[in-house]
Amino acid sequence: MIGMTRYDSANPLTQGVEWLRDPANWQGDYGIPNRVVEHLAYSGLTLLIAVAIAVPVGLFVGHTGRGRVVVVSLAGLLRALPTLGVMTLFALLATSTLSLMPPIWALVLLAVPPLMTGTYAGIAAVDPETVDAARGVGMTEWQVLFRVEVPNALAVMLGGFRSAVLQVVATVAVVAYLGLGGLGRFIIDGLSVQDYGQVLGGAVVIAAVALVVDGVLALAQRRAISPGLQQLRHPPAGNAAREDLTAGARGGTP
Amino acid sequence: MTWLFGNLPQVLSLAGSHLVQAVIPLVLAVVISVPLAQIARHNKTLAATFLSVGSVLYTVPSLALFVILPVVLGTRILDFTNVIVALTIYAVALLVRSTLDALNSVDDGIRQAAVAMGFRPLHRFLAVDLPLSLPVLFAGLRVISVSNISLVTVGALLGIPSLGFFFTDGLQRNFPTEIIVGIVGTLILAVLMDGVLVLLQRLLTPWLRTPRAPAAEVVRA
């Protein structure tokens, strides 16, 4: 925990500004920059695991069409799970309450549905004629998947990735409750000592980090789409996929 | 199980306040989003503004919003209102977009037929455009409802009563059963709410009651 900022004002809003302007809060292990790094590191680890699980499953289901019902209902179920509950449960069942991995696994459960449904819906929405044509010119199934289906599905897949990132970055704030670091620390610590300047300042930093990350991803998403597909912003088959994506995207932002 | 029955009154009362915090935003979101979407439909600039403001607000993490709102609204930090306003903001951000899509997808021929039959603009909107948009609107509502039910539990970190209380309390007392009751309770509420929405949609869109579900529904499930 960082030392208390001395406030000139009694108004919590002004205190938040004072807290953010206090140089002491911007340095050291418990300062804002270090907490941002921690926050992003937890998020990155979570996403790495979630991508490794969800994307292959999504590719398989999208390409073969097998197991669609399982994936869709699994994603729906996971989406309804309260992440805070899963996190506290995992933390309790783990040997040591302060360890990193239990909350990370809870976050993985949160990130899997949008990644999995985004990948699956993207692949499934690729025009079947295009896929047939690829087979017709003699591509193997792997070539069909990686040279035709994935590039065509990339917009939807990245949309799913973006919403997974958004949810994870938002929810990592909660791991502070379990004694880990990250930007949630400022809110949890501030609340426990009734330092509302710290609570508000921390909340503003979390919101800013979430917005910047989302903005960067939005730019990357625009860059990553193949130029050949740029004009086809609204392909005929894309509509169902897009709605599916919105459904996946808005799973819950704790 | 023993613990559940011993504490049933508390479970039910927390489930009650949980529902209140999840349902009110849903109702408010419909009341706010539909007019906004209708206004946005006739004005491209406004539509772009609504959508970008919406996506920015949607990006703000709930824990942050829960503690920022009391200062903005002048409420106490433990007030239900903070959760309700925060969830309403998320819901509106989402619903304006899907309502706009829904209204745009109404066949222009149908609209013109309604005008030709003498419907005035407001009457036409309420009797033709809106009912035809209901399936998409409800698809949005179902997604929001599931995420609301889950988000309400985050309020427990600030001490706002909901089933999330069992998560924080169970952790402090080192008592997994309590957490499991909270998780299962939350899931039950989500399923119940979803059932109510499906039922409501069936009642409101009798013309869609065909034996086969529409294709988009299968993908989304």
pLDDT digits (tens, 9 = 90+) for A21-37: 888 888 888 889 999 99
pLDDT of A253 > 60? The answer is no
Supply the CATH number for residue A82's domain. Answer: 1.10.3720.10
Interchain contact, A124 vs B164, CB within 8 Å: no
The ipTM (two decimal places) reads 0.82
Is A3 a member of any domain? no
Choose the closest CB to B154 out of A206, A207, A254: A254
Choose the closest CB to A85 out of B90, B167, B190: B167
Task: Please tell me the distance from the alpha carbon of residue B154 to that of residue A169, in angstroms, as a whole number.
Answer: 15
Give B214's pLDDT tier (boundaries 50, 70, 90): low
| pLDDT for the residue numbered B221 | 39
Region B4-31 average pLDDT: 90
| pLDDT for the residue numbered A251 | 41
- Per the structure, the count of domains in chain A is 1
Which range is least confidently modeled, A1-15, A28-42, B151-165, B196-210? A1-15
Task: Please tell me the distance from the alpha carbon of residue A247 to that of residue B217, in angstroms, as a whole number.
Answer: 11
Is A7 a member of any domain? no
| pLDDT for the residue numbered A250 | 41
- For chain B, the C-alpha Rg in angstroms (whole number) is 20
| pLDDT for the residue numbered A168 | 93
In eight-state DSSP terms, residue A2 is P
A253 touches chain B (CB under 8 A): yes
The domain in which residue B108 lies consists of 2-220
| pLDDT for the residue numbered B162 | 92
Give A7's pLDDT tier (boundaries 50, 70, 90): confident
B103, B137 contact by CB (below 8 A): no
Amino acid at B93: A
Q: Mind telling me how many Å the CA of A64 is from chain B's nearest CA?
A: 15
pLDDT of B7 > 60? The answer is yes
pLDDT of B12 > 80? The answer is yes
Interchain contact, B219 vs A76, CB within 8 Å: no
The domain in which residue A89 lies consists of 12-249
pTM for the model stands at: 0.83
pLDDT tens column, A65-116: 888 888 888 888 888 899 999 999 998 888 665 688 889 999 999 999 999 9
- Give the 3-state secondary structure of residue A5: coil
A252 touches chain B (CB under 8 A): yes
| pLDDT for the residue numbered B33 | 92
pLDDT tens column, A159-183: 899 989 999 999 999 999 888 889 9
- Nearest residue on chain A to B77, alpha-carbon basis: A191
pLDDT of B210 > 80? The answer is no
Q: Mind telling me how many Å the CA of A140 is from chain B's nearest CA?
A: 27
Is A254 a member of any domain? no
Mean of all residue pLDDT scores within chain B: 87
A108, A116 contact by CB (below 8 A): no
- Per the structure, the count of domains in chain B is 1
Mean of all residue pLDDT scores within chain A: 84
Interchain contact, A80 vs B186, CB within 8 Å: yes
A36 touches chain B (CB under 8 A): no
Give B211's pLDDT tier (boundaries 50, 70, 90): low
Interchain contact, B61 vs A169, CB within 8 Å: yes
Is A2 a member of any domain? no
Region B97-108 average pLDDT: 87
In eight-state DSSP terms, residue A144 is I
Rounded to 5°, the CA angle A135-A136-A142 comes to 20
- Give the 3-state secondary structure of residue A230: coil
Chain-centroid distance, C-alpha B43: 25
Supply the CATH number for residue B181's domain. Answer: 1.10.3720.10
What percent of chain B has a predicted confidence (pLDDT) above 90?
A: 37
Task: Please tell me the distance from the alpha carbon of residue A237 to that of residue A122, in angstroms, as a whole number.
Answer: 10
Give A142's pLDDT tier (boundaries 50, 70, 90): very high
| pLDDT for the residue numbered A56 | 95
Interchain contact, B59 vs A121, CB within 8 Å: no
Q: Mind telling me how many Å the CA of A192 is from chain B's nearest CA?
A: 10
B33, B133 contact by CB (below 8 A): no
pLDDT tens column, B108-140: 899 899 999 999 988 898 888 888 888 888 988
pLDDT of B54 > 70? The answer is yes
